[in-house]
């Protein structure tokens, strides 16, 4: 019985070692990446203006920034397109530290568009373990916030969200703006909140006079206004009471064993920001750019 227990324990230990993320053959260290001449970068698919395709060609601020970072390291860029999972934790697991059967367990070297948030990075499960302990989140490259755009032909101004008690507003389904507008002030804006599969479709609805305004992330709003070329569509400057966090930073993520890659990318990112090249990337998509606090 004692021998069985010892053998069982040894087998369990071997399984843990062999199946652990540190032993995953897909994790390439910094030297291996440089030697290969290729940086594998994970980006979300169909997520304009951050990462998307036009006639089969990759576009977006995350794509252009990833290309600039790879070039600064002296390697070429290989994109790994990924659909968003139900939770960011799932995306980090599938793309950075464990892999996914859907992509033959392949891992990216780095993932774009990850919240640079200490509270999220330090979040623990019911056992007191870090929920994302296999991942290092670093390199904030964008400051993001919520934004409303509206049509001046049907709405004079948006001094506060109170106008949406009378004017319809479009939001992406299952988004933070959707939850916010249908829940604040006892749900008084719920009847005027119209839901669409995407921000782009909400803008199409605004141009068709189905709604008078759209609420989404500032980057998405800037891009849609840039695409519309309509001077009657403009930005609101209202606040969002009772919304919680309204400003956050976006960065990158690597496997926790690959901090050397994180340091190298962060060094190149800082240079690109200080030289104004990141600002130029955002301006090309009609997007405003606020330098993250770390580099101010």
For the chain, the domains span 24-143+247-295, 145-235
The span from the CA of 162 to the CA of 242, in Å, is 13
> What is the pLDDT at residue 117?
86
Q: Would 24-143+247-295 and 145-235 be classified into the same CATH topology?
A: yes
Q: Check whether 25 has a pLDDT greater than 80.
A: no
> What is the pLDDT at residue 23?
42
Q: Which residues contact 103 (CB under 8 A, 6 or more apart)?
A: 80, 82, 94
Q: Check whether 264 has a pLDDT greater than 60.
A: yes
**Residue 80 vs residue 101, higher pLDDT:** 80
The span from the CA of 75 to the CA of 92, in Å, is 23
State percent of the chain over pLDDT 70: 88
Mean pLDDT across the stretch 239-261? 94
Q: Check whether 16 has a pLDDT greater than 60.
A: no
Backbone dihedral region for residue 242 (phi beyond 0: left; psi -120 to 50: alpha; all else: beta): left
State percent of the chain over pLDDT 90: 78
Structure-block tokens of residue 153:
């032909």
CATH of domain 24-143+247-295: 3.40.190.10
> What is the pLDDT at residue 254?
97
Mean per-residue pLDDT of the chain: 89
Q: Tell which residue, 230, 218, 222, has the closest CA to residue 283.
A: 222
> What is the pLDDT at residue 124?
78
Structure-block tokens of residue 170:
């479009």
Inter-residue contact 112 to 66 (CB < 8 Å):
yes
pTM: 0.87
Confidence of residue 11 (pLDDT cuts 50, 70, 90): very low
Q: Check whether 6 has a pLDDT greater than 80.
A: no
> What is the pLDDT at residue 133?
80
Confidence of residue 4 (pLDDT cuts 50, 70, 90): very low
The span from the CA of 148 to the CA of 180, in Å, is 13
Q: Give 145-235's CATH code, choosing from 3.40.50.720, 3.30.450.40, 3.40.190.10, 3.40.47.10.
A: 3.40.190.10
> What is the pLDDT at residue 145?
96
pLDDT tens, residue by residue, 108-145: 999 999 999 877 777 777 767 766 789 999 999 999 99
Tell me how crowded residue 135 is: count the other CB atoms within 10 A of its CB. 23
Confidence of residue 87 (pLDDT cuts 50, 70, 90): confident
> What is the pLDDT at residue 99?
78
pLDDT tens, residue by residue, 41-86: 999 999 999 999 999 999 999 999 999 999 999 999 999 999 988 8
């Amino acid at each position: 019985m004692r021998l069985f227990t010892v053998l069982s324990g040894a087998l369990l230990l071997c399984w843990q070692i062999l199946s652990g993320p540190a032993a995953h053959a897909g994790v390439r260290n910094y030297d291996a990446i440089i030697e290969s001449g290729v940086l594998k970068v994970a980006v979300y698919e169909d997520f304009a203006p951050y990462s998307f395709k036009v006639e089969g060609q990759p576009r977006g601020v995350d794509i252009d920034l990833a290309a600039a970072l790879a070039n600064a390291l002296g390697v070429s860029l290989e994109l790994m397109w990924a659909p968003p999972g139900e939770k960011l934790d799932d995306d980090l697991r599938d793309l950075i530290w464990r892999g996914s059967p859907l992509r033959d367990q392949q891992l990216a070297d780095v993932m774009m568009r990850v919240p640079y948030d200490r509270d999220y990075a330090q979040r623990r499960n019911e056992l007191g373990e870090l929920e994302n302990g296999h991942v290092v989140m670093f390199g904030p490259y964008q400051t993001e916030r919520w934004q409303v755009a509206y049509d001046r032909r049907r709405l004079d101004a948006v001094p506060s969200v109170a106008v949406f008690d009378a004017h319809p507003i479009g939001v992406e389904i299952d988004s933070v703006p959707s939850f916010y507008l249908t829940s604040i002030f006892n749900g008084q804006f719920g009847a005027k909140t119209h839901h669409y599969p995407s921000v782009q479709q909400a803008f199409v609805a605004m141009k068709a006079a189905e709604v008078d305004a759209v609420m989404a992330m500032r980057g998405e709003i800037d891009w849609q206004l840039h695409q519309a070329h309509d001077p009657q569509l403009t930005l609101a400057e209202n606040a969002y009471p009772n919304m919680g966090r309204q400003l956050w930073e976006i960065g990158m993520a690597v496997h926790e064993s690959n901090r050397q890659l994180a340091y190298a990318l962060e060094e190149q990112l800082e240079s690109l920001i200080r030289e104004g090249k990141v600002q130029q990337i955002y301006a090309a998509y009609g997007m405003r750019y606020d330098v993250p606090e770390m580099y101010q």
